Amino acid sequence: MNRLKDTILYAVIPCYQEEDALPETINQLGAQFAKMEQAGVISPKSRMVFVDDGSKDQTWQMIRDAAQKDTRIEGIKLSRNVGHQNALLAGLMAVREDCDCCISVDADLQDDIEAIPEFVAAFEQGNDVVYGVRSCRKKDSVFKRTSAKAFYKLMKILGADVVENHADYRLMSRRALNALAEFSEVNLFLRGVVRLVGMPTATVTYARKQRQAGKSKYPLKKMLSFAFDGITSFSIRPIRLVWSLGMLVCFLAVLAAIYSLLAFWGGNSVSGWTSLMISIWFLGGVQLISVGVIGEYIGKIYKEVKRRPRYIIEERIRL
């Protein structure tokens, strides 16, 4: 006998110029949803929501046709290309009132959709955020693998809390989505912000697959700017580094001063050299420290303008 569950699962799939991948994605995801529905894992009210991120190809037409044929499919069209993170957020925010939990999936099916029931199971065990973690990245190019590794290392060194080898394949409960909605920052780095939401979390590991059709929509330029965004929206440590550099230069200035004075007293220096040497080093240090001090204040302003929630209530009991 089927165990009937009433977990309403929504999948949000950001799509940018994905006409090559979409037909197969719609098929496979549809089949996976049907399977889970039949097994009683998810409610028949579950939906797949495709977000067209301002594509210029047939993506939106495909989504529209699919939505007309299949009531489990919904479409959202953004007015222009706003990037993966924002497109994903648009989808999540649009569905949060209708679902119990929502999973974000890439349109190229690189993230194994066979793992979705595991995400739902973790959700039912009381986890509000379930991170998909790649167990192996053999199918990614060597370049992508090494650059991603370097990125996670750098994020860690700079003090930003991210889950390693987790992209945006993740399930969030409605409660977590509502908390996410409280973050109104414009430079949104979802992977970092979701960590700040807190609440019980779990991970599901899966093997990352090859992109099933079409090309990656993350060329090097976008990848670098994504990494840079991630770091600068989560860490003011670079500012502190300027500070430390200033202190270091000041220390070197003392050494340089000793050296130039010795040379001066020893009589083997051109006139004017000693004073120039000392001022250059010393001024350099002072300037760096000053920039660091200003930076510290800018860092504070930066934190203020983000207006991040200072706390998130997970539960409240009142009898």
Binding residues (CB under 6 A) for ligand UDP: these are 14-16, 18, 53, 81, 83-84, 87, 106-108, 110, 211, 216-218
**Options 1-9, 53-61, 103-111, 299-307: segment touching Mg ion (CB under 5 A):** 103-111
Cα–Cα distance for residue pair 241/69, rounded to 1 Å: 56
Q: Give which of ligand UDP, Mg ion, none residue 81 binds (C-beta under 5 to 8 Å, depending on kind).
A: ligand UDP
Smallest distance, Å, CB 218 to ligand UDP?
Answer: 4
- Considering beta carbons, is residue 42 or 190 the nearer one to Mg ion? 190
Which of ligand UDP, Mg ion, none lies near 118, with the C-beta cut-off 5 to 8 A by kind? none
**Residue 193 structure tokens:** 């912000």
| Residue 107 binds which of Mg ion, ligand UDP, none (CB < 5-8 A, kind-dependent) | ligand UDP
Tokens 């993740």 identify what position?
170
Whole-number Å distance between alpha carbons of 61 and 17? 11
Window of 9-17, 105-113, 224-232, 290-298 that interacts with Mg ion by CB under 5 A: 105-113
Host H or E run for residue 281? helix 273-306
Axis crossing angle, helix 273-306 with helix 237-265, rounded to the nearest 10: 170
> Encoding tokens for residue 113?
């959709």
State residue 176 phi and psi, 5-degree precision. Answer: -70, -35
- Neighbour count for residue 159 (Cβ, 10 Å): 12
- Shortest distance, CB of residue 169 to Mg ion, whole angstroms? 10
Pairing status of strand 73-77 against strand 129-136? unpaired
Of the two residues 36 and 87, which places its CB atom closer to ligand UDP in the complex?
Answer: 87
d(CA 261, CA 172): 65
Nearer to Mg ion (CB atom), residue 53 or residue 128: 53
Residue 136 CB partners (closer than 8 Å, separation 6+): 207, 208
Tell how strand 101-104 and strand 166-173 pair up: antiparallel
By a kind-dependent CB cut-off of 5 to 8 A, residue 190 interacts, out of ligand UDP, Mg ion, none, with: none
- Which partner from the list Mg ion, ligand UDP, none does 128 bind, CB cut-off 5 to 8 Å by kind? none
CB of 16 to ligand UDP, least distance (A): 3
Give me the residue label for tokens 């209530």: 313
Contact 60, 18 (CB under 8 A): no
Coil/strand/helix, residue 222: helix
Q: Is 110 in the site for Mg ion (CB under 5 A)?
A: yes
Nearer to ligand UDP, 143 or 251 (CB): 143
Q: Does residue 137 contact residue 112 with C-beta atoms inside 8 Å?
A: no
Between 167 and 188, name the residue whose CB sits nearer to Mg ion.
167
- Min dist CB 66 to Mg ion, Å, is 20
Q: Based on CB atoms, which residue is closest to ligand UDP, 43 or 216?
A: 216
Closest to ligand UDP by CB, 23 vs 299, is 23
User: Is residue 108 within the footprint of Mg ion (CB under 5 A)?
Assistant: yes
Look at residue 132 and give the partner it binds from ligand UDP, Mg ion, none, a contact being a CB closer than 5 to 8 Å depending on partner kind: none
Tell me the closest approach of the beta carbon of residue 159 to ligand UDP, in angstroms.
24
CA distance 158 to 234: 9
Closest approach, Cβ 163 to ligand UDP, in A, equals 16
